[in-house]
Amino acid sequence: MCGITGIIGNKANQQNLASLLQAQKHRGPDYTDFWLEENRIGLGHNRLSIIDLSENANQPFFSDCGNFVLVFNGEIYNYVELRKELQSRYRFKTTSDTEVLLNAYREWGEDCLSRFNGMFSFAVWDKREQCLFAARDRFGVKPFYYFWDGNDFIFASEINPFWSVGIAKKPKDSVWLHYFSEGSYGNPDETFWQHIQQLPGGHSLTFKNKQLNIKKWYHFEERIAQLQSHFEQNEEEYITNLLLKAITFRFRADVPVGFNLSGGLDSSTLLALIDQQDIDKSAVEAFTFITNDERYDELTWVKAMLENRPYYLTVCPLSAQEIPDLALQMAKHQAEPYGGIPTLAYSKIFQAARQKGVKVLLDGQGSDEAWAGYDYYVNQSQNSIQGISKSPVRTNVLEIDFAKNYTKTNYPKPFDDALLNLQYRDLFYTKIPRALRFNDRVSMLYGTELREPFLDYELVEYIFSRPQEFKIKDGIQKWMLRKIAERFLQKDLVLAPKRPLQTPQREWLSDDLKEWVTAEVDLLQNHSWFDKSSLQKELDNFYNGDNQSSFHVWQWINAAQLLK
């Protein structure tokens, strides 16, 4: 996992490339370099060394024919298998997945994308054709942002680098309005800022002769249609093997690997699958966060799971007193709204891992969307937030002229089944895109790599395509995953309910941090988006007990810190 950047056009010079790279240096603290050709095309790279730690694998990476230049962020987990396919036609000078990716592109062109099992965002410059080709993995685990104004095409792994080369920082009102009105974070091609776009997950782009073309390369809907009529003879065994394969792939690294652990089913299943790996388990560390509030902390469950297992546990505490400074740091780093105090607690894990020399962490992210784990999948509501009974937003605080432009987001519904459409929305438009963005920034802030085996595309496709009773049976959600987990875990762990709340965010914002919250929200009182009296009234209501949800208050804190 690294940082990539590039410029084609008038701004392609050494100073601008250096500025872009400096702004995202935390993503790759091990090595930074760039390539510049005749002041019209330049590519840069910040390296976090994970596979083949030698300098031979540094980037920008050049093909042995001299025609192609690559910058790559992520991991191609099946690089070992692909290398075997390619080694009769290409001479390899490294043991890196970077070189495998470049030679795969040379061999198969754009078709190489469907052969990759991994998380990736990369760009290849073809000198002969004077063309840039870039692509993002199926679910958008790795980011790709770009700017194009007709003169300069600029891309980077984060948003902050764009400000460093003189691009104006202007809020995109429509995205902010939808954020305040329905809790959404923009469409897959949008950001919260004007002129800064995303390449959506599962898409590629070409840039040639000042022409930008974007196309979808991952056709998830077609894959599901093919799989819906396909049933393995022993599905439980087949899925177990997919899970084990996903874990095995994600332990491929030349640096220490650890994992994040909570008290839920996903984490406990992850632990059980790691148990099955042929690795030195005494060298693998577990990490969990706590807030020292027994209503939310899952340490008791975590310790029970690790009992009689060889993994050392690092406990990462977060206190209310840390929130003001940490929240501002995270807001500046994320450059867009993020997920609140749980995200800050999560960041403590990566900070501790890096301090202990653990550069790769595995996590249970992605299970709920494929296996139908959220409560609103059962009641078939249109919610996208778990564990709420009333709206998490407060549209009445918005100024009338701002609010009148809101139109409800209508997400695509490519399937006949209502549950599948909700899952599809969460995978490609709501839950997963925002979680992946939060997690990428949090992990990279501390120069660590996060891997999510439950988002292995083969696993997600097969589970998603299964009938509803495979996922929800007799009122029990994630039914088949629980059945598989029973092979390895105590039954009380397998039956553990999903807990929607992970931290005392409501309590801290309405009590411990009340003075700080008031000061932050005061910054919005004269902003043109808000009605001053309504904003104050809703904040008072929150302090006086209307705090079943604190999402709306966190929205205001996010806005205050990002719009300063």
Q: State the helix-helix crossing angle for 418-428 and 220-227, rounded to 10 degrees.
A: 140
Examine the domain organization and report whether 162 and 285 are in the same domain: no
Do both 328 and 387 map to the same domain?
yes
CA pair distance 445, 142, nearest whole angstrom: 14
- The mean pLDDT value of the chain amounts to 94
Is residue 479 a part of any domain in this protein? yes
CB-based contact 155:134 (threshold 8 Å): yes
Beta bridge partners of residue 61, listed in sequence order:
70
* 151 part of a folded domain: yes
Give the DSSP H/E element, type plus range, for residue 191: none
Give per-residue pLDDT as tens, 294-305.
Answer: 999 999 989 988
In a domain, 354, yes or no: yes
CA dihedral 284, 279, 31, 197 (to 10 degrees): -80
Interstrand relation of 3-9 and 41-47 (parallel, antiparallel or unpaired): antiparallel
Q: What is the mean pLDDT of residues 325-333?
A: 96
Task: Give me the pLDDT at residue 453, please.
Answer: 97
CA atoms within 13 A on the CB side of 525: 11
Could you give the 3-state DSSP secondary structure of residue 3?
Answer: strand
Same-domain status, 486 and 514: no
Domain assignment of residue 337, yes or no: yes
From the CB of residue 491, how many other CB atoms can be counted at a distance below 10 Å?
10
pLDDT tens for 434-490 read: 999 999 999 999 999 999 999 999 999 999 999 998 999 988 899 899 888 888 876
Which range, of 77-86, 199-208, 493-502, 513-522, averages the lowest pLDDT? 493-502
The rounded distance, in Å, linking the Cα atoms of 354 and 27 is 12
Q: Provide the residue range defining the domain that includes 528.
A: 505-562
SS3 60: coil
Residue 14, token pair as written in the block: 């050494």
Q: How far apart are CA 137 and CA 76, in angstroms?
A: 10
Per the annotation, the verdict on 316 as an active-site residue is no
CA 395 to chain centre: 28
Mean pLDDT of 9-29: 97
Sequence-ordered list of residues with C-beta below 8 angstroms from that of 445, at least 6 positions apart, any chain: 26, 330, 333, 347, 350
Which amino acid makes up residue 61? Answer: F
**CATH classification at residue 189:** 3.60.20.10
Output the pLDDT for position 383.
Answer: 59
What tens digit of pLDDT does each residue of 49-96 get? Answer: 999 999 999 999 999 999 999 999 999 999 999 999 999 999 999 999
The reply to whether 97 sits in an annotated binding site is yes
Q: So what's the pLDDT on residue 420?
A: 96
Count of domains forming the chain: 3
CB distance 112 to 105 below 8 Å: yes
Give the model's pLDDT for residue 230.
87
| Enclosing H/E stretch for 313 | strand 312-317
Domain match, 516 and 463 both: no
| Residue scoring higher pLDDT (461 or 494) | 461
Q: Are 140 and 188 in contact (CB under 8 A)?
A: yes
Is residue 396 assigned to a domain? Answer: yes
Predicted confidence at residue 19, as pLDDT, reads 98
Q: Which of the following is catalytic: 2, 65, 112, 131? A: 2
Query: Is residue 500 in a domain?
Result: no
If asked whether residues 452 and 400 sit together in one domain, one would say yes
Residues 259 and 207 both lie in one domain: no
pTM: 0.95
Residue after which a domain boundary falls, among 187, 218, 249 = 218
461, 515: one domain: no
Same domain, 126 and 228: no
How many helices (H) and strands (E) the chain has is answered by 24, 19
Separation between Cα atoms, residue 1 and residue 245, nearest integer Å: 21
**What is the reported pLDDT for 379?**
77
CA Rg value for the chain: 23
Asked if 55 contacts 32 with a C-beta cutoff of 8 angstroms, the reply is no
Confirm whether 101 is domain-assigned: yes
* Same domain as 517, residue 469: no
Selection from 296, 286, 220, 238 nearest residue 460 by Cα = 220
Co-location of 23 and 122 in the same domain: yes
Residue 61 has phi, psi (to 5 degrees) of -110, 135
Burial grade of 534 (CB within 10 A; 0-12, 13-18, 19 or more): middle
* E strand map for 54-142: 61-62, 68-76, 118-126, 131-136
Q: Are residues 529 and 465 in the same domain?
A: no
Q: Which of 475, 494, 513 is the last residue of a domain?
A: 494
Residue 425 lies in a domain: yes
C-alpha distances in angstroms, 185 versus 150, 188, 192, 199, 543?
A: 27, 9, 8, 15, 26
Q: What is the mean pLDDT of residues 315-324?
A: 97
43 and 83, same domain (yes or no): yes
CATH classification of the domain holding 303: 3.40.50.620
Of 439, 473, 494, which residue sits at a domain end?
A: 494
**Residue 485, pLDDT score:** 86
Residue 253 binned pLDDT confidence (cut-offs 50, 70, 90): very high
